[in-house]
């Protein structure tokens, strides 16, 4: 089939939905499908620096991505996504759909303007939609008022978790198929003989809980001597945050935005993943990525994480509690044999539940149903 994967955000700025769509496209191509990604892009230059407070990836677009507009930062659900809102998006979308003639289009966060709304308006083929967000979703009420009627055009609805399904169904009652986010499974991942380091993966969004980790870090570092590797956090924003909370920088390495290969390498070399998110996470994607690398996790006990963290794969602690976070990290690092067993259990769990091969097959079945 010829499949169009539609993302309302910018390729230039890393995020869970953007990464999900890239892996989805790659997995479907391996199954023989012709796949194009439709999303925003912010090329390098003064305008991009003016519109965006953080650095991103501004190199040449990979093959198979069709860019349809620049993005702006819009606060939503405790995060700062980069959403394409340009009015020029509508004619661009119409032109792309006319030229590509997709058999099916798959929209991620379908109620988000302007890309997804434009596709809902103009598409002449079956439409599949995936809902990712969890929480109050305050922006959905006005969106439903103005363009909610377009959701009647969707032929199949997916949610990445029961929490995401519950959040979406408050505004769009329907049957949602729960298909989790997939992760890349490294061919080899041994939890033993790791670098004495822990990893945090996340943007500098309030809900990711980085200040909680930084407040816990002096105690962790003093007790274990481990290093903290920060991935996905803009270095300038980290410096501003650390200057405000003043916890010191001993043992902290800020890697910033890195390619997927580097992130996987860091996860596969660290002893532990730490994710102190405060809430609003519909699916613990970063936990699943760590598990795939045989890396156990210490994470907040929030619904989106609890649904991913199987018994024996790590520790869950109360959110927004630096003392509890520090105690759990120190405890896991203090018992190496137990940590290694956690890593092995995490790897088994990820392979069984989150491999992209399986996720792509399930998506393919839905595409066949809606195009039959």
Nearest C-alpha neighbor of 10 from the set 46, 56, 47, 45:
56
Which residues constitute the domain of residue 258? 197-353
Rounded Cα gap, residues 53 and 235, in angstroms: 11
The rounded radius of gyration (Å) of the Cα atoms in the chain is 20
Q: Are residues 201 and 158 in the same domain?
A: no
The reported pLDDT for the residue numbered 132 is 94
The reported pLDDT for the residue numbered 237 is 85
Number of domains into which the chain is organized? 2
Q: What are the pLDDT digits (tens) for 314-350?
A: 999 999 999 999 999 999 999 999 999 999 999 999 9
Q: Are residues 135 and 211 in the same domain?
A: no
Beta-carbon-side half-sphere exposure of residue 47 (alpha carbons within 13 Å): 7
Nearest C-alpha neighbor of 151 from the set 105, 117, 115:
117
Q: Are residues 206 and 130 in the same domain?
A: no
Using an 8 Å Cβ cutoff, are 312 and 306 in contact?
A: no
Rounded Cα gap, residues 23 and 160, in angstroms: 15
Rounded Cα gap, residues 51 and 299, in angstroms: 33
**Residue 334 covered by a domain:** yes
Rounded Cα gap, residues 213 and 322, in angstroms: 6
The reported pLDDT for the residue numbered 34 is 98
CATH code, domain carrying 331: 3.40.50.2000
Q: Are residues 317 and 360 in the same domain?
A: no
The reported pLDDT for the residue numbered 171 is 96
**Residue 254 covered by a domain:** yes
Q: Are residues 219 and 140 in the same domain?
A: no
Nearest C-alpha neighbor of 139 from the set 165, 119, 168:
168
Q: Are residues 245 and 221 in the same domain?
A: yes
Rounded Cα gap, residues 337 and 316, in angstroms: 19
Q: What are the pLDDT digits (tens) for 283-323?
A: 999 999 999 999 999 999 999 999 999 999 999 999 999 99
Which portions of the chain are predicted below pLDDT 70?
77-78
Q: Are residues 337 and 245 in the same domain?
A: yes
Reported for 235-238, long-range contacts at CB under 8 A and 24+ positions apart, including other chains, are 235/55, 236/54, 236/55, 237/53, 237/54, 237/204, 238/204, 238/210
Nearest C-alpha neighbor of 278 from the set 241, 314, 317, 245:
317
Q: Are residues 360 and 348 in the same domain?
A: no
**Residue 304 covered by a domain:** yes
Phi (first) and psi of residue 345, to 5 degrees: -65, -40
**Residue 292 covered by a domain:** yes
Q: Are residues 343 and 363 in the same domain?
A: no
**Residue 59 covered by a domain:** yes
Q: Which helix (H) or strand (E) holds 55?
A: none
């Amino acid at each position: 089939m010829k499949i169009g994967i539609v993302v309302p955000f910018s390729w230039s700025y890393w995020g869970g939905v953007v990464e999900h769509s890239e892996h989805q496209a790659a997995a479907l191509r391996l199954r023989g499908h012709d796949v194009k990604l439709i999303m925003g892009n912010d090329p390098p230059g003064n305008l991009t620096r003016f519109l965006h407070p953080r650095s991103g990836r501004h190199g040449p677009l990979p093959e198979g991505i069709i860019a349809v507009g620049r993005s702006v930062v819009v606060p939503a659900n405790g995060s700062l996504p980069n959403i394409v809102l340009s009015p020029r998006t509508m004619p661009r979308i119409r032109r792309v759909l006319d030229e590509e003639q997709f058999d099916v289009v798959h929209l991620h966060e379908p109620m988000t303007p302007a890309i997804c709304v434009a596709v809902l308006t103009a598409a002449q083929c079956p439409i599949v939609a995936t809902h990712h967000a969890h929480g109050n979703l305050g922006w959905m009420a006005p969106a439903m008022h103005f363009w909610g009627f377009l959701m009647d055009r969707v032929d199949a609805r997916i949610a990445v978790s029961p929490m995401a399904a519950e959040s979406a169904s408050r505004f769009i009652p329907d049957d949602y198929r729960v298909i989790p986010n997939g992760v890349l499974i490294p061919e080899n991942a041994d939890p033993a003989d790791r670098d004495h380091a822990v990893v945090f993966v996340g943007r500098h969004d309030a809900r990711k809980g980085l200040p909680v980790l930084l407040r816990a870090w002096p105690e962790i570092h003093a007790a274990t001597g481990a290093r903290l590797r920060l991935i996905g956090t803009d270095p300038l924003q980290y410096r501003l945050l650390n200057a405000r909370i003043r916890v010191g920088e001993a043992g902290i390495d800020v890697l910033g935005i890195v390619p997927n290969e580097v992130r996987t390498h860091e996860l596969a070399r660290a002893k532990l993943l730490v994710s102190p998110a405060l809430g609003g996470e519909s699916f613990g994607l970063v936990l699943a990525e760590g598990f795939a690398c045989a890396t156990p996790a210490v994470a907040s006990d929030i619904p989106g994480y609890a649904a991913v963290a199987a018994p024996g794969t790590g520790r869950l602690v109360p959110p927004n509690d630096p003392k509890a976070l520090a105690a759990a990290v120190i405890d896991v690092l203090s018992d190496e044999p137990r940590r290694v067993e956690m890593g092995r259990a995490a790897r088994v769990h990820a392979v069984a539940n989150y491999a992209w091969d399986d996720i792509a097959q399930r998506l393919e079945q839905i595409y066949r149903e809606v195009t039959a």
